Amino acid sequence: MESIPGVKQLVYLCLFAILSTDLLLVHGQVETFPRNVTVAEGQNATILCRTGGPLSYCRIQIPGEESLRLSDKFPSKNPLYAYYGEGLEQGYCGVSIQHVKAINNGKVTCILGLEQDDVEGHIDLVVALPPQRPEIKLNTDMRRGSFEIDQEFQATCISRDGRPPAQLQWYLDDEPITEGVSQPRVVDTITGQNTTLYSVAVQLTRHLKASDDRKFLICRSVHPADQPQVSRYQLQVRYRPQPLQENRVYGLPLGQTALINVTLTANPRPHIEWSVDGIVIPQGTQNARYESYQPVDLGNGTYNITLAIAGLTTDDTAKTYYLKASNEFGIQDYSVTISSSPHVDATGIDIGSIIGIIVGIAILLVIISVIVFARATGKWCFSGASVNTDIGPDSEAQIAPHHDDYEEKEYDHETDERHAETQHTEKNEKTQQQQQQQRNGNEQKTNTQV
Per-residue model confidence as pLDDT tens digits over 92-105:
999 999 999 999 99
CA-only gyration radius of the chain, Å: 51
**Domain boundary pick from 185, 204, 238:** 238
Residues 332 and 370 in one domain: no
Residues 233 and 154 in one domain: yes
CA-closest candidate to residue 38, choices 223, 230, 227:
223
Q: What pLDDT score does 255 carry?
A: 94
Q: How far apart are CA 225 and CA 130, in angstroms?
A: 5
**Domain boundary pick from 220, 238, 256:** 238
Residues 68 and 155 in one domain: no
Q: How far apart are CA 263 and CA 193, in angstroms?
A: 64
Query: Which tens digit of pLDDT belongs to each residue from 254-264?
Result: 999 999 999 99
User: Rounded mean pLDDT of 385-396?
Assistant: 45
Give the predicted TM-score (pTM) of the model: 0.63
pLDDT at 330 over 70: yes
Q: What pLDDT score does 396 carry?
A: 42
Q: How far apart are CA 221 and CA 232, in angstroms?
A: 12
Within 10 angstroms of residue 338's Cβ, the number of other Cβ atoms is: 21
CA angle 196, 202, 204 (to 5 degrees): 170
Q: How far apart are CA 7 and CA 5, in angstroms?
A: 6
φ, ψ of residue 271 to 5 degrees: the values are -100, 135
Residue 429 inside a domain? The answer is: no
Residue 266 inside a domain? The answer is: yes
pLDDT at 414 over 60: no
User: Rounded mean pLDDT of 333-360?
Assistant: 78
Is 102 in contact with 127 (CB distance < 8 Å)? Answer: yes
Q: How far apart are CA 110 and CA 67, in angstroms?
A: 10
Residues 146 and 216 in one domain: yes
Residue 48 inside a domain? The answer is: yes
Least confident of 171-185, 201-215, 393-407: 393-407
Q: What pLDDT score does 256 carry?
A: 94
What one-character DSSP code corresponds to residue 79?
T
Q: What pLDDT score does 387 carry?
A: 44
Residues 232 and 146 in one domain: yes
Residue 440 inside a domain? The answer is: no
φ, ψ of residue 183 to 5 degrees: the values are -70, 145
Strand partners, 112: 58, 119
Residues 197 and 215 in one domain: yes
pLDDT at 239 over 80: yes
Residue 438 inside a domain? The answer is: no
Q: How many CA atoms lie within 13 A of 436 on its CB side?
A: 6
Cis bond upstream, residue 34 (ω within 30): yes
Q: How far apart are CA 340 and CA 357, in angstroms?
A: 26
Q: What share of the chain is helix, strand, coil (3-state, %, to 5)?
A: 25, 40, 35
What one-character DSSP code corresponds to residue 267?
B
pLDDT at 235 over 50: yes
Query: Which tens digit of pLDDT belongs to each residue from 5-25?
Result: 454 554 444 444 444 444 344
CA-closest candidate to residue 132, choices 219, 45, 217:
219
292 φ/ψ sector (left φ>0, alpha ψ -120 to 50, else beta): beta
Q: Name the pLDDT band for 352 (thresholds 50, 70, 90).
A: low
The residue with greater pLDDT, 90 or 416, is 90
Residue 375 inside a domain? The answer is: yes
Q: What pLDDT score does 160 carry?
A: 94
Residues 233 and 267 in one domain: no
Residues 271 and 161 in one domain: no
Residues 18 and 106 in one domain: yes
φ, ψ of residue 309 to 5 degrees: the values are -120, 120
Residue 49 inside a domain? The answer is: yes
Residues 63 and 23 in one domain: yes
Where does residue 179 rank: exposed (0-12), middle (13-18), buried (19+ CB within 10 A)?
Answer: exposed
In the chain, the amino acid numbered 335 is S
Is 188 in contact with 126 (CB distance < 8 Å)? Answer: no
Q: How far apart are CA 281 and CA 365, in angstroms?
A: 58
Q: What pLDDT score does 104 carry?
A: 93
Residues 113 and 151 in one domain: no
- Domain with residue 305: its CATH number is 2.60.40.10
Using the Cα atoms of residue 432, residue 438, residue 444 and residue 446 in order, give the sign of their dihedral.
Answer: negative
Outline where DSSP puts E strands in 235-376: 237-238, 248-249, 258-265, 271-276, 279-282, 285-287, 290-292, 296-299, 302-309, 320-327, 330-338
pLDDT at 32 over 50: yes
Residue 72 inside a domain? The answer is: yes
Q: Name the pLDDT band for 357 (thresholds 50, 70, 90).
A: confident
Least confident of 368-372, 433-437, 443-447: 443-447
The residue with greater pLDDT, 124 or 446, is 124
Query: Which tens digit of pLDDT belongs to each residue from 175-192?
Result: 999 999 999 999 878 777
**Domain boundary pick from 128, 161, 179:** 128
Its domain, for residue 172, covers 135-238
Strand partners, 154: 205
Q: What pLDDT score does 193 carry?
A: 67
pLDDT at 428 over 90: no
Q: What pLDDT score does 13 carry?
A: 47
The residue with greater pLDDT, 29 or 11, is 29
**DSSP-H helix ranges across 161-290:** none
Q: How far apart are CA 282 and CA 268, in angstroms?
A: 18
Residues 104 and 191 in one domain: no
pLDDT at 344 over 60: yes
Report how many domains make up the chain: 4
CA distances to 3, 54, 82, 132 from 16, in Å:
20, 21, 34, 51
